[in-house]
Structure 1
């Protein structure tokens, strides 16, 4: 098989998680409980789970990098990122930033994505939006993301790392790192926070929870959002995933809008001066029927691309060939260990290709090396199937 054919055979692109996927999940409560308890039976309360080894049977067929990047490049309906700059007034732009942040909340299905290897990347374009994410540290796991909107001159930069803790009845994942959006044509900067993730037992999936803040120093406007995962009975009744908050002037605390609703349904904003209520977010329009990327230019796909690095593992998981998936996963991890040993032997430090990285105590600072993200070889188009394993050799 030629080198190009080998790449095609192992490049596996998976559909992003959509709202409807929860109902179609194959996981039953009983099977989830058995598999989760088998994983955590030897884990102590309060333990850090960042380096927990997850077997293929408990894995999703995609890397954590893909899960992060999908929050930006995968959407239906309006281009909500572009809307952030298109609005004329500062308050309307802040409302749009709030809406875009809500759109990044996605259902969390049972199963752990792969822990990205050092230097792994994911590069995808959707319309005017280009997204590039790189794993800049493996221990601890740290990801740096850069997204740009070519038409509206928007820049989004994240550095993301997490601290998962086992709490007995649930796993609490605190998502850390700076998130900044710059609307260059408006000369505005927005600082954003991420809610924590709660994985409760029994039952598959997880829930976003906690308080987050968005603020724009240039306009003096800010927003507070509070996500509530709910009690067991509230989740049973479908009353979980509620969201409430406010938009206000930072200096005076004067409230301008009240925010309320459910992030998996609709979210409303009430103008406290006029009493007018408007729908600012509709999950049905934004996060249903999401499509996977397809390959537009195979020659430009980087060797570090997530869909290529983990392709063999993903194929095994999708076919429920656990032996094949486990063997492929071990090969990826062994290759990473060998690379680490070689660097240690030579005394040559690893340097990210797309970001400059500085660690300040427990915090990480990551800055893109290029001002804009180039067009990606993997793209989102309108006419795509639900799961694309476009180049798999059906005879193998």
Structure 2
């Protein structure tokens, strides 16, 4: 375990320590930014720094007001002793570190299990043994619901539509049905987090998340398909589509996700031990092809597509029903699909030299990318 050079002093009057595993990544860095605005909070990031862009995220965080209260420790959730050490003084733990790709889980199921299932177990044990009973929030996935065969769909234009007029999204009563090694590893972790709340009274919350998008994504294909599509279209690169491209997802701006995390924490007396489905909901749902066509229209760039077989367990339609979280906390998403895509585009304008797609291949669009979905 290594303390990264350039982290701030911890002797600054902060009264509580918040641990973010995977805190140098996309969601973690946005969460850390928010937590640094709380003057009594010491933010401790624990990350193995393996993903593209994380060093840029850390440099950005260290430039923010409050960065004297930021501590960055390089380490891996597969190291139980290291996790125990970084969690020993934490009053809140946001467990975001994960292997995030279905395709990678199929190629290397052992690593997928070790990171997602065993890594989460290490975090839970560290929280239990610390004696502090910290608030623990775990980011799970909609993949724990499997392929959702019980929801009949049909293709309408370029998207799947639920046949039932009463469909309002997938809620937490949906039966669990783990597909793919990724679904299994995240599902096992999901259930461990819930059971530690029951057995050990650990104040924990599970977010089963749909598509999260926004700034601080660096164009990795296996994480953040919206950003990956936008950057690839601007670069004139070929995009791989798994299946027919009619798959529908609801998209949530990462700042709305951070709002939800803070809402769950602030209402912990009600949210503890609960699981919540989280995404953009019915008003922010869009298919893969609809997203690509909108990006094509707004950028003036032609699409280059390559089709492959659908991935195991891929859901034709997934839209989150967020009514439970709204009822427990009052949270609602505030940013539209168009605002989310605009935020990604602005991030590219400011960071195109750091993004995975080479900047010299990218054609500048005529105007700001924007998108609205009826």
TM-score w.r.t. the length of structure 1 is 0.24
Q: Which has the higher contact order (CA 8 A, sep 6+)?
A: 1
Which structure has the highest strand share of the two?
1
Larger Rg: 1
